A = this chain, B = another copy of it.
């Protein structure tokens, strides 16, 4: 038990293993990196010692030596509305799970999207931006740095970067079409923060669907919010005050839709007989409550997972590959909050 060397980390090193196994550190390195050119007997011996000593190679030394890192940074803009709930947690959880599977280290980076600050990219093996509200500059920097980068929840047309987005416009269209198919013509829309691509596209989808169905688009039926429940409530109040009250409303998020339901109930209105509601998200909260919410399911988990997979692909590649641009389909989940007119 004579540990002569006083390493700063104090931990077991590859040298300890080599010594104990009676081989060179090179051989140990080969074994832990699964390089086949090691005699079976040695391999077994090394593995034994590794287990015995509970040796875990220093990731820092590995990365210094290889110049590669398997740290994946998930960059989430610290915005009030969108990233304040179901969405963010779902994303983080899914990303975390898959990173675990791929043996990637997940670094969480909450960024103030207002400042045009540079990210410290050094040491990152891959970057995943969850949306790029106000972080476009950082995405550009990332691309230039050559670090594998993926953007999720935003379809980035004009930048050579992989992105995984959701068919927000399509989902919105489906929602509105469904309402139309039920006989509704007076359909309002409570939109999210149109600074986000998702909200903007949902609004666009709503308008498209109306047009395709030859229903005039009325300005007063479109209420813009910041995705918060508070503003959803105000929007719904405004809707109810309209001379020509809508019979249905498509709301850009479930949590806002829930708020609209609550307000309606407070005002003595019945859902769905007095007002049909479709949300967006498929937030489980929509399942509870007196009336289960009809909604557009967006594959958040799938999106995050595809993002990690694409990042992994990029990271494993030698040279930069063609970026992939993926749009994930949504699915209308019909429950109880809409009625046939």
Cβ contacts under 8 Å, A66 to chain B: 8
Cβ contacts under 8 Å, A106 to chain B: 107-109
Q: For the complex, what is the distance from the CA of A265 to the CA of B9, rounded to whole Å?
A: 60
Interface residues of A in 130-149 (CB under 8 A from B): 146
* Size class of the contact patch on chain A: 35 or more
Assess whether A68 is interfacial by the CB under 8 Å rule: yes
Cβ contacts under 8 Å, A88 to chain B: 89
CB closest residue in chain B, given A267: B290
What is the count of identical protomers in the complex? 2
Assess whether A299 is interfacial by the CB under 8 Å rule: no
CB of A308, distance to nearest CB on chain B (Å): 13
Cβ contacts under 8 Å, A285 to chain B: 229
Cβ contacts under 8 Å, A89 to chain B: 85, 88-89, 92
Assess whether A331 is interfacial by the CB under 8 Å rule: no
A9 partner, pick from B8, B67, B259, beta carbons under 8 A:
B67
Q: For the complex, what is the distance from the CA of A134 to the CA of B168, rounded to whole Å?
A: 40
Cβ contacts under 8 Å, A9 to chain B: 67
A60 partner, pick from B10, B64, B265, B290, beta carbons under 8 A:
B64
Q: Are A107 and B110 in contact (CB under 8 A)?
A: no
Q: For the complex, what is the distance from the CA of A118 to the CA of B54, rounded to whole Å?
A: 10
CB closest residue in chain B, given A63: B60
Q: For the complex, what is the distance from the CA of A121 to the CA of B59, rounded to whole Å?
A: 10
Interface residues of A in 185-219 (CB under 8 A from B): none
CB of A136, distance to nearest CB on chain B (Å): 19
A105 partner, pick from B59, B78, B107, beta carbons under 8 A:
B107
Interface residues of A in 78-133 (CB under 8 A from B): 78, 85, 88-89, 92-93, 96-97, 100, 105-110, 118, 120-123
CB closest residue in chain B, given A288: B229
Cβ contacts under 8 Å, A146 to chain B: 10
A68 partner, pick from B8, B54, B57, B74, beta carbons under 8 A:
B8
CB of A101, distance to nearest CB on chain B (Å): 11
Q: For the complex, what is the distance from the CA of A265 to the CA of B63, rounded to whole Å?
A: 59
Q: Are B122 and A58 in contact (CB under 8 A)?
A: yes
Q: Are A96 and B123 in contact (CB under 8 A)?
A: no
Q: Are B121 and A56 in contact (CB under 8 A)?
A: yes
Question: Given contacts A67-B8, A68-B8, is CB(A110)–CB(B97) below 8 Å?
Answer: yes
Assess whether A243 is interfacial by the CB under 8 Å rule: no
Assess whether A289 is interfacial by the CB under 8 Å rule: yes
Q: Enumerate chain A interface residues (CB-CB to B < 8 A).
A: 7-11, 54, 56-61, 63-69, 74, 78, 85, 88-89, 92-93, 96-97, 100, 105-110, 118, 120-123, 146, 229-230, 233, 259, 262, 265-266, 284-285, 288-290
Question: 9 closest pairs, A vs B, by CB?
Answer: A8-B67, A56-B122, A9-B67, A96-B110, A60-B63, A59-B123, A89-B89, A60-B60, A60-B64
Q: Taking A8-B68, A10-B67, A262-B290 as given, write out 5 further A-B residue pairs in contact, using a Cβ cutoff of 8 Å, ordered by the A residue number.
A: A8-B66, A10-B146, A92-B92, A106-B109, A266-B290
